[in-house]
A and B are shown apart, each in its own frame.
Chain A
Amino acid sequence: MTATQPAAGRTPVRRLAGLLHRRRRLRLSLLLTAPLLWLAVLYLGSLAVLFVSAFWTTNSFTSEVVKVWSTDNFHALLTTPVFRQVILRSIGVALAVTVLCAVIAFPLAFCTARVARPRWRPLLVVAILTPLWASYLVKVYAWRLILSQGGLADWMLKPFGLSGPGFGLPAAVITLTYLWLPYMILPIHTALEQLPANLLDASADLGARPGRTFRSVVLPMVLPSVAAGSVFTFSLSLGDYITVQIVGGKTQLIGNLVYSNIELNLPMAAALGTVPVVVIVLYLLAMRRTGALSSL
């Protein structure tokens, strides 16, 4: 055994391993080159191209991109009423979806994390995740059927003398809420699961009623997770344009404007595309202050 050891040290693989072990910097750079290249070139690079092309213009007839520097697109973005309206509507939809998701997810996560018996909990988490296994389009088209005239929504509301929302903005908000709900439940579930039971006991011992315990103990500890979940629901809703096409009736969101401009006026589409990027960066900065990003 001892005789073979030095011999093994001379094989190329061993030598390489030794080299990498001794030179930490070499090891690190080899490990990081590929992912960093991906991040810098493909990810940040394409964002940079997007931003730069937003300053170009197009030939009005052939719609060819003319590479002449101009800020007209951003000017149009800020001064055209329809763009402002659509941008505000998109942000409103993203906020509404986020709030709805949080309101629905909290009791659900409380159920799966604290009320249900421990051996049921993993199964419940799986049940929450199952919608993510189905295709996005299938789910949205299912909602189209549910919300259509005489569909499930109409049928269920009929005994109360009501009718479903039909296709439109509310339908889009409902469908997006359904789509992104698991992304909100999971972080809240994790936070509630990790909540030490003795804190709740201590709160009760000190005479706090359940409501007070919830407000003063549970909520402050879980809030960063809600914020973390909201990053998903907010950004996913802000970028979506397919759901609104299928169930949104005639509603337009930023994504639809990008889509309708991409063929004829690429620079305008790029300018529109920077809006969600800026909004989400601002949102992330705001969320970072809550400590949400460290609990992702």
Chain B
Amino acid sequence: MRLTRTLQAAAAVAVLLAATACGSSDSGGPSASTGLNPPDLKAQSKLGKTEGQVNLIAWAGYVEDGSNDPKVDWVSDFEKQTGCQVRSKVAASSDEMVKLMKTGEYDAVSASGDASLRLIASGDAAPVNTDLVPNYKDVFGDLKLQAWNSVKGKAYGIPHGRGANLLMYNTQKVKPAPTSWSAVFDDAAKYKGHVTAYDSPIYIADAALYLKATKPELKIKDPYALDQKQFDAAVALVKKQNPNVGEYWGDYLKEVSAFKSGDSVVGTTWQVIANLAESEGAKVKAFVPKEGSTGWSDTWMVSAKSKHPNCAYKWLDWVISPKVNAQIGEYFGEAPANSKACAETSDKNFCTTFHAGDTAYWKNIAFWNTPIEQCIDGRTDVKCVPYAKWVQAWTEIKG
């Protein structure tokens, strides 16, 4: 009796599996929206009365009210000045930010470039009237109206800060000192098992950036606009790198500990991680290799369904006001967006360390962007590989 029931269950499962294996791919689903044709939304034309509350989605360290560290607090003053109570939700990834914005319960988000275009295209983010953000005029010119925060000259957010993905290496174990990303790609086998890389599909762009310099025949112009051939080459490079990788890092504390112990000796990093590892005694150095680098530039965007838009605009202005922008930059470890912030940092060398106003430095940085089918480098004769395919490829790369 027992056996028959077990058999029945097994048979049921088998039938189910067979059914799914056979009846596939007949449904293509609704046609996927291609290209970037954002819904025609209007930006606010003037500010009204504040609503007394604002709900934010942010990266860890962007909205600090003193509850993590009593000394780190730029929310309380905002609440006092504007009467807007801040409720913030920390998101762990760009994908989570996109998801949370879809709920319509939040007013503003600190989106990175790999999320911002998705938010614009789906109509979740509204255009921003920069005239209503007085501090916007002091933002570095090379951050305004960029591919990841605007569409056709229409601003969709306020630049907040930026940073580069650097190459970090252990100065005692990696000799001679690397000058190129080849240290983690073509020459990675030298440090087999001790190479590290950022654990996100967007890391494929790092490989594309390296190929752009080393394989000109692929004609890569923008590491976020890859046609199938270019994409396959980049994926192949990351797959070749995989056997040499010890671990991929997602959170920065994990990378600090790996570089301190020597489990990782060479790989991508952020300036803040390099500083932290160095302060904890690791013998490391981080720099931008000769091919240039990828990086991130975050943008505060306002939800199209915002219930507290006036408070959201107040927050946008507050977050890039010189003093607050400097505080966030120093706490998080990134270059501030406001040019006047450099005068407000507690470490007077801060803006030099993080290259805040160094236009030449940022020219070499390819900021995160969302790969979409319509090539964002302007090509119209080919289709580019959309981000969803990047995600699949990333799973396969890790194996």
Q: For B395, what are the chain A residues with a Cβ–Cβ distance below 8 Å? A: 82, 252, 257, 260-261
Contact of A250 among B17, B96, B247 (CB under 8 A): B247
Q: A1 at interface (Cβ–Cβ under 8 A)? A: no
Contact of B262 among A150, A261, A286 (CB under 8 A): A150
Q: Which one, A30-38, A55-63, A213-221, A222-230, is touching chain B?
A: A55-63
Contact of B29 among A57, A79, A151 (CB under 8 A): A57
Q: For A68, what are the chain B residues with a Cβ–Cβ distance below 8 Å? A: 27, 29-30
Give complex CA distance A217, B254 in Å. Answer: 50
Kindly count the residue-residue contacts between A and B in the assembled complex, taking CB atoms under 8 Å apart. 130
Asked if A246 and B254 make an inter-chain contact with CB atoms under 8 angstroms apart, the answer reads: yes
Asked if B34 and A61 make an inter-chain contact with CB atoms under 8 angstroms apart, the answer reads: yes
A interface residues (Cβ-Cβ under 8 A, vs B): 57-64, 66, 68-72, 74-75, 78-80, 82, 85-86, 144-145, 148-151, 166-167, 245-246, 248-250, 252, 257, 260-261, 263-265, 278, 281-282, 285-286, 288-289
Asked if A78 and B257 make an inter-chain contact with CB atoms under 8 angstroms apart, the answer reads: no
Q: B95 at interface (Cβ–Cβ under 8 A)? A: yes
Q: For A66, what are the chain B residues with a Cβ–Cβ distance below 8 Å? A: 29-30
Q: For B394, what are the chain A residues with a Cβ–Cβ distance below 8 Å? A: 260
Contact of A85 among B17, B242, B248, B399 (CB under 8 A): B399
Contact of B391 among A166, A264, A282 (CB under 8 A): A264
Q: For A263, what are the chain B residues with a Cβ–Cβ distance below 8 Å? A: 93, 95-96, 98-99
Give complex CA distance A79, B396 in Å. Answer: 13
A-B contact pairs, 8 of them (CB 8 A): A82-B396, A150-B261, A167-B263, A249-B246, A250-B246, A252-B399, A260-B394, A265-B391
Q: For A151, what are the chain B residues with a Cβ–Cβ distance below 8 Å? A: 261
Q: Which one, B18-26, B207-215, B317-325, is touching chain A?
A: B18-26
Asked if B118 and A62 make an inter-chain contact with CB atoms under 8 angstroms apart, the answer reads: yes
Q: For B177, what are the chain A residues with a Cβ–Cβ distance below 8 Å? A: none
Known contacts A68-B27, A252-B398; is A75 also within 8 Å of B20 by CB? yes
Q: Which residues 253-269 of B sit at the A interface, judged by CB distance below 8 A?
A: 254, 257-258, 261-263
Closest residue of chain A to B258 (Cβ to Cβ) is A148
Give complex CA distance A263, B247 in Å. Answer: 22
Asked if A75 and B24 make an inter-chain contact with CB atoms under 8 angstroms apart, the answer reads: yes
Q: For A245, what are the chain B residues with a Cβ–Cβ distance below 8 Å? A: 250
Give complex CA distance A71, B9 in Å. Answer: 21
Closest residue of chain A to B32 (Cβ to Cβ) is A60
Known contacts A64-B122, A71-B24, A250-B398; is A285 also within 8 Å of B9 by CB? yes
**Given contact pairs A58-B388, A263-B95, a sample of 8 additional A-B residue pairs in the complex whose CB atoms are under 8 Å apart:** A66-B29, A144-B257, A148-B258, A149-B261, A252-B395, A263-B96, A265-B388, A289-B2
Give complex CA distance A278, B372 in Å. Answer: 36
Q: B60 at interface (Cβ–Cβ under 8 A)? A: no
Q: B47 at interface (Cβ–Cβ under 8 A)? A: no
Q: B373 at interface (Cβ–Cβ under 8 A)? A: yes
Give complex CA distance A82, B122 in Å. Answer: 30
Give complex CA distance A151, B263 in Å. Answer: 10
Q: For A150, what are the chain B residues with a Cβ–Cβ distance below 8 Å? A: 261-262
5 closest A-B pairs by CB: A263-B95, A74-B20, A75-B24, A62-B122, A148-B261
Give complex CA distance A66, B388 in Å. Answer: 15
Q: For B6, what are the chain A residues with a Cβ–Cβ distance below 8 Å? A: 285-286, 289
Closest residue of chain B to A62 (Cβ to Cβ) is B122
Q: B380 at interface (Cβ–Cβ under 8 A)? A: no
Known contacts A66-B30, A289-B6; is A78 also within 8 Å of B96 by CB? no
Give complex CA distance A166, B262 in Å. Answer: 11
Contact of A288 among B2, B23, B98 (CB under 8 A): B2
User: Which of B20, B261, B386 gathers most chain A CB within 10 Å?
Assistant: B20
Contact of B33 among A61, A144, A250, A285 (CB under 8 A): A61
Shortest C-beta distance, B393 to chain A (Å), equals: 10
Q: For B17, what are the chain A residues with a Cβ–Cβ distance below 8 Å? A: 74, 78
Shortest C-beta distance, B49 to chain A (Å), equals: 33
Give complex CA distance A145, B2 in Å. Answer: 48
Known contacts A61-B121, A62-B122, A64-B102; is A282 also within 8 Å of B23 by CB? no
Asked if A167 and B95 make an inter-chain contact with CB atoms under 8 angstroms apart, the answer reads: no
Q: For B387, what are the chain A residues with a Cβ–Cβ distance below 8 Å? A: 61, 264
Q: For A252, what are the chain B residues with a Cβ–Cβ distance below 8 Å? A: 395, 398-399
Closest residue of chain A to B386 (Cβ to Cβ) is A60
Asked if B246 and A82 make an inter-chain contact with CB atoms under 8 angstroms apart, the answer reads: no
Known contacts A61-B32, A166-B193; is A72 also within 8 Å of B21 by CB? no
Give complex CA distance A71, B245 in Å. Answer: 35
Closest residue of chain B to A58 (Cβ to Cβ) is B388
Q: B13 at interface (Cβ–Cβ under 8 A)? A: yes
Closest residue of chain A to B34 (Cβ to Cβ) is A61
Q: For B373, what are the chain A residues with a Cβ–Cβ distance below 8 Å? A: 61
Q: B11 at interface (Cβ–Cβ under 8 A)? A: no
Q: For B388, what are the chain A residues with a Cβ–Cβ distance below 8 Å? A: 58, 60-61, 63, 264-265
